[in-house]
Amino acid sequence: MTTLTDPPKEHFRLSMLLYDTRYRSATIQVIALIGFMLLAAWIISNTIQNLEALGKPVEFGFFGEPASYDINQRLLEYTSRDSHLRAAFIGLLNTLVVAVLGCITATIVGVLVGVLRLSNNWLVARIMTVYVEMFRNVPVLLWIVLAMAILIEGLPAPNAFRGDNPTATMDLFNSVAVTNRGVYIPEFLFSRGLGDIHLFGASSIRFNVSLDLVAFLVVLGGSIFAMRKISGWAAAKQEATGDRPTIWHIQLGVLFVPMIILLTVLGFHLGYPELKGFNFKGGTHMRNSLIALWLALSLYTAAFIAEIVRAGILAISKGQTEAASALGLRPGRTMRLVILPQALRVIIPPMISNYLNLTKNSSLAIAVGYMDITGTLGGITMNQTGRELECVLLLMLVYLCISLSISAVMNWYNNRVKLVER
Amino acid sequence: MKKSVILGMATVAGLAAGAAAAGTVDDIKARGKLNCGVTTGLVGFAAPDANGEWKGFDVSLCRAVAAAVLGDASAVEFVPTTGKTRFTALASGEIDMLARNTTWTFSRDVDLKFEFTGVNYYDGQGFMVPKALGVTSAKELDGATVCIQTGTTTELNLADFFRSNNISYEPVPIETNAEAQQQYLAGACDVYTTDASGLAATRATFEDPSAHVLLPEIISKEPLGPLVRHGDHEWGDVVRWTLNALVSAEELGVTSANIDEMSAGTDNPEVNRLLGTEGTLGEMLGLDANWAANAIKAGGNYGEIFATNIGEETPIGLARGLNAQWTDGGLLYSPPFR
What CATH code is carried by the domain that includes residue A116?
1.10.3720.10
Between the CA of residue B192 and those of A148, A290, B155, B182, what are the distances in Å? 18, 21, 11, 11
- Report the DSSP pairing between strands A182-185 and A284-287: antiparallel
* Contacts with B151 from chain A: Cβ below 8 Å: 379-380, 383-384
- Note down the domain range covering A210: 191-267
Question: Does B10 have pLDDT greater than 70?
Answer: no
Q: What is the pLDDT of residues A153-198, one digit of tens each?
A: 988 888 888 777 777 777 777 788 888 888 998 888 888 777 778 8
* Contacts with A369 from chain B: Cβ below 8 Å: 150, 172-175
Q: Answer yes or no: do A330 and A262 share one domain.
A: no
- Rounded distance between C-alpha atoms, residue A180 and residue B49, angstroms: 32
Q: Where among A205, A233, A267 does a domain terminate?
A: A267
pLDDT band at B18 (very low <50, low <70, confident <90, very high): very low
- Report the DSSP pairing between strands B144-149 and B191-195: parallel
The three-class DSSP label of residue A252 is: helix
Q: Answer yes or no: do A85 and A142 share one domain.
A: yes
Please tell me the predicted confidence (pLDDT) of residue A1: 54
* Contacts with A277 from chain B: Cβ below 8 Å: 142-144
Q: Answer yes or no: do A83 and A201 share one domain.
A: no
- Of the candidates B143, B171, B188, which has its C-beta nearest A72's C-beta? B171
The three-class DSSP label of residue B112 is: coil
- Of the candidates A31, A46, A70, which has its C-beta nearest B14's C-beta? A46
Please tell me the predicted confidence (pLDDT) of residue A295: 94
Partnered with residue A210 across adjacent β-strands are A196
Q: Answer yes or no: do A400 and A307 share one domain.
A: yes
Q: Where among A212, A233, A267 does a domain terminate?
A: A267
Q: Is residue A385 part of a domain?
A: yes
pLDDT band at B14 (very low <50, low <70, confident <90, very high): very low
Interface size A-B, in CB pairs within 8 Å, comes to 113
- Rounded distance between C-alpha atoms, residue B174 and residue B330, angstroms: 33
> pTM here?
0.80
- Considering all CA atoms of chain A, what is the largest pairwise distance in Å, rounded to the nearest integer? 115
Q: Is residue A348 part of a domain?
A: yes
Q: Is residue A377 part of a domain?
A: yes
Spacing of C-alpha B100 from chain mean position: 4
Question: Does B20 have pLDDT greater than 70?
Answer: no
Q: Answer yes or no: do A250 and A363 share one domain.
A: no
Q: Is the Cβ pair A386, B112 closer than 8 Å?
A: yes
Q: Is the Cβ pair B188, A288 closer than 8 Å?
A: yes
- The mean pLDDT of B159-179, rounded to a whole number, is 89
Q: Answer yes or no: do A356 and A393 share one domain.
A: yes
Q: Is residue A203 part of a domain?
A: yes
DSSP of B155-186, one letter per residue? Answer: HHHHHHHHHHTT--EEEEEESSHHHHHHHHHT
* Contacts with B175 from chain A: Cβ below 8 Å: 366-367, 369
- Of the candidates A80, A152, A158, which has its C-beta nearest B183's C-beta? A152
Q: Is the Cβ pair A279, B84 closer than 8 Å?
A: no
Please tell me the predicted confidence (pLDDT) of residue B33: 94
Q: Is residue A169 part of a domain?
A: no
Please tell me the predicted confidence (pLDDT) of residue B13: 43
Q: Is the Cβ pair B87, A46 closer than 8 Å?
A: no
Q: Is the Cβ pair B186, A42 closer than 8 Å?
A: no
SS3 letters for A276-336? ECCEEECCEEEEHHHHHHHHHHHHHHHHHHHHHHHHHHHCCCHHHHHHHHHCCCCHHHHHH
Q: What is the pLDDT of residues B252-265, one digit of tens each?
A: 999 999 999 998 88
Q: Answer yes or no: do A138 and A65 share one domain.
A: yes
Q: Is residue A158 part of a domain?
A: no
Q: Residue A416's CB: how many other CB atoms inside 10 A?
A: 10
Q: Is the torsion defined by CA of A211, A212, A217, A220 positive or negative? A: positive
What domains does chain B contain, in order, with CATH numbers? Answer: 24-122+223-328 (3.40.190.10), 125-220 (3.40.190.10)
Please tell me the predicted confidence (pLDDT) of residue B111: 84
Q: What is the pLDDT of residues A115-164, one digit of tens each?
A: 899 888 999 999 999 999 999 999 999 999 999 999 999 888 888 887 77
For an interface test with B, which of A47, A70, A368 has the most B Cβ atoms less than 10 Å from its Cβ? A70
pLDDT, block means (10 residues), chain A with 422 residues: 67 81 87 95 90 79 88 88 91 94 95 91 94 94 94 87 77 82 87 79 77 88 92 90 85 88 86 84 88 95 95 90 92 87 87 92 91 91 86 93 92 81 62
- The mean pLDDT of B90-111, rounded to a whole number, is 91
Q: Where among A212, A234, A267 does a domain terminate?
A: A267
- Window 25-44 of A: residues touching B by CB (8 A cutoff) are 31, 35, 38-39, 42
Question: Does B7 have pLDDT greater than 50?
Answer: no
- Rounded distance between C-alpha atoms, residue A201 and residue A216, angstroms: 25
Question: Does B4 have pLDDT greater than 80?
Answer: no
- Of the candidates A31, A54, A181, which has its C-beta nearest B188's C-beta? A181
Q: Answer yes or no: do A242 and A293 share one domain.
A: no
Q: Percent of chain B, pLDDT > 90?
A: 57
- Rounded distance between C-alpha atoms, residue A88 and residue A83, angstroms: 9
Q: Answer yes or no: do A407 and A335 share one domain.
A: yes
Q: Is residue A168 part of a domain?
A: no
Please tell me the predicted confidence (pLDDT) of residue B22: 58
Nearest of A353, A361, A370 to residue A142 by alpha carbon = A361
What total number of domains does chain A contain? Answer: 2
Q: Answer yes or no: do A252 and A301 share one domain.
A: no
* Contacts with B14 from chain A: Cβ below 8 Å: 46
Contact call for residues A165 and A388 (beta carbons, < 8 A): no
- Of the candidates A39, A53, A388, which has its C-beta nearest B88's C-beta? A388
* Contacts with A53 from chain B: Cβ below 8 Å: 18
| Residues contacting A57, CB < 8 A, separation 6+ | A48, A51
Q: Answer yes or no: do A309 and A405 share one domain.
A: yes
- Report the DSSP pairing between strands B97-103 and B144-149: unpaired
- Rounded distance between C-alpha atoms, residue B178 and residue B164, angstroms: 30
Between the CA of residue A343 and those of A113, A115, A320, A337, what are the distances in Å? 15, 11, 11, 11
Amino acid at site B278: E
For an interface test with A, which of B84, B139, B141, B167 has the most A Cβ atoms less than 10 Å from its Cβ? B84
Q: Is residue A303 part of a domain?
A: yes
Tell me which chain A residue has its CA closest to the CA of residue B147: A369
Q: Is the Cβ pair B143, A277 closer than 8 Å?
A: yes
